[in-house]
Structure 1
Amino acid sequence: MRNYRTPIVVTGAALVAAVGVFIGANQYVQAHTNSFYRVLLNGQPIGEVSSKQVVENALKAKSEQLADADSEVRYKLDDNQVSFEDVSAYKKLPDDEAALKALEAGLKTHPVGVKLVIGGKEIAVVKDQETAESILQRVKDKFAPGASDKSKVQALSYNASKRTAQPSRVVKSVSIEEEVTTIPVDIDDPAQVADPDEVFKKLTTGNPVKRTYTVRKGDCIGCIAQKMKVSADVIYANNPWIEDDEIKPGDVLDITQNNPVLHVKSEEEVTQIETIDPPVEIRKSDDIKLGKSKTVREGKNGKRQVTYRLVKRNGTMIEEEQVSSEVLEAPVSTVILRGTKVTPSEGTGSFAWPVSGHRITSYMGERWGRLHKGIDMVGGKTIMSADNGTVEFAGRKSGYGNAIIINHNNGFKTLYGHLKSISVKKGQVVSKGEAIGIMGSTGHSTGTHLHFEIYLDGKLRNPTSYL
């Protein structure tokens, strides 16, 4: 028995109809297929989003949140945590909200800081750039107070009728001598971030080990400073209770010497009103007996406006220069009549500079916390008597080192301090311009110079009013 298959004949119309159905179905699928992105966090899929921008916005917001956080340590997102894969799916939509929640929960952060480097040496890691700049500004303000607040600087205003004035102080410049660099860094442990107050203390003091000294019988400030190899200024600064150099056995002195990491150099101008002592005019009279005198006119103080340029290093004066001086009220001289016969030991009342080619390095005044009783000067090494007189003292004097006091036998006395050597003796009569010693740096002195004082009737006077 034979089986016969009946052949199927497909007509052209049927084929066209089938192809049309296929194309239509494909178009339908394509029309309902969505393209989106699969988000991978540290290589692991966490969801799908409609666009990469959604994730990038979330990462930016998280970074800003971390930067603005009120915390002692800053945190930052780890780099390269997020990647994307292109995805297409039939009738499926991404869930942006779910993906962003998973992203928020899985993001990793790490602590960061700013490394403070001074002179090539790492000092500390602080919270951020703002903290570093704040610490550096605190250091500047400590050694140059008021430099950052120009509104506190008052102009000098002189009232001639009341003879009063408020001095002005203008900080011209403040700079840190060392090279300071700040470098953003990633850190392993939040404990690496230093406390700003501790960093400030280290920069301004060097965190020295505290040293003390117990005063013994016979001690003096200068003696202790020399013995313990510290500046007398350190002793005064650390022990403000000391008055008139008075110390007694058993007193404990703080002699800790700071060694700041940063050194701040500042330049300022101080303008103030100073008193001009009245000059003394001595006139000879045949009507008055030898050795007698008579004041026929009392002197009157004058006033002058003086501006000084001060250069300081960590608040300590290293340079002083008088840049201007204007007489506001001229002094009236005191007129004294004396006998016509002048003995060799009696001064003329007119003083010569005790140093040739003189240059004043420090003026008399109380501007810097302690009274500087006279003026300091440098120039020729030979020290000369400023006027005729009798040597009243020649030898070692506390604070002054080798010193000479000359009595000019007319009410005036002059003092010459820090000499290297003395060439006159007590009781010796000297004339104006006569050599009396050699300039040195003995006693409480930081360098070779002459310290010069003038007294009239026992009262300290400003030498610049007479020289």
Structure 2
Amino acid sequence: MVLTKGNLQSYSRLPAKRMIQTCFTLLFFVISLVAVSTVAKADGKSNVYTIYHIYVGDKHIGTLQDDEPVLSYIEETLKEYEKEYPDLSLQIDENIKVIPEMVFNEEKEDEDVLSSLEDKMIVQAEAIALVIDDQPAVYVATIEEAEKAIEKLVTQYVDKEAYEHFQMMVEEDEDLTLKVGEEKITNLSLTEEVIEEESVVLPEEVLSVEDAVLKINKGVLKEQPYIVKEGDVLSSIANNHDLTTAKLLELNKELDVDSVIRVGQEIQVTVYEPLVKVLTTKVEKVEEEIPYQTEVKEDDSMWKGDQKVTQQGQTGIQLLEYEITEQDGNVIQRKVLLEEVTKEPVKKIIVKGTKEMPSRGSGSLGWPAVGGYISSYQGNRWGRFHRGIDIARPNNYNILAADNGTISFAGSQGGYGNLVRINHNNGMETLYAHLDSIDVKVGQTVAKGQKIGVMGQTGHSTGIHLHFEVYENGQLKNPMDYLK
């Protein structure tokens, strides 16, 4: 008979345990009793004994004069297992039979029956197997724990609230309507079919929900390629993949301990591959900006190098619905389901000048200030030779280039203070001194009448004015010979 935790407890409530097994051998026992009684009456003797044959499956392991030791041993064994595994439903694996027999002569019982029973008797637990790829992957105690394990497997990568909402959507066939910034799961699946099957296994094979999920996640070792990176050596690659160097070489027959590996080379390693992965498909609705474009227009009335913005750019707005597929939380596919522009972008318009600025002067100098008068001419003054003319009291303090040219100097120079020199590329050069500020740089091309700075009184100056000098072929000239 098969003894389980349940029926052993029910049998123990019977007044005489020796009668337990008679339900399987009642007919045999009655026939034996009648036969013995008949013989006893025939010879006038009444010495009759009962012995008990102990079987494990079809194998006879011995004979006892009392069945109590066997029953007690089974009961105590189950009690010990119950203490260690209180949440499991336990049973004896083998079919243990106790068969009584009536005999005339008292027989000696086998002393090693219990030790033989101990060797052959296996206690097992009822469990639910999670079968993956036709193989039992893990065992848990109940169908409820199996469901929890699958849920926990999924909610490693899916928010539990989103998971519960998805289940509700499926049950209620909810319409998939999204608000901006909202996402909903549309499909959840596993890469392998997971089947729940009833099973009987050793108690130590039954795992908690947490341990079952860890075992599924860890999976099995599989070979996969590794691409050698800068600084890698065989020992470091092996160590990073929990391998010995010898095992790494075994996986790569073309290598040996003296092999030189190169960056980009492919080497086989082993990694743990999960038994099953979680596939999630979800839809999200987002509002995204549409970047504006920039248009550049040319204007030949503006100097080359000058530009201005005539229309500021504005970003547009669009509504997008994405379908995102993830495997174990990693995005493997993303596609647009719906695209709706709610605000068109406005392009930015920049106007750039194309007018070329001539660098060669005309030879005719223009007045280098905005109005004003000559407060001091070239010649002897205060015991010294005054090299140019001074222009004072202008309408504003802007200083203008006397002709087209290239800036050859722009900075501070002794008694001149802030100074600008223009090479007119025709043998002539003009000098502008005592500036408060300078608006040009060396190498810059300027046009006649272009502002090059602001009048001031830097250097040796008695007031705000412009000191102006003219040179031709390196010789100092009188500005009044060139100014109109």
Decide: shared fold, TM above 0.5: no
Asked which structure has the greater CA Rg, the reply is 2
- TM-score, normalization by structure 1: 0.38
Q: Could you tell me the TM-score, scaled by structure 2's length?
A: 0.37
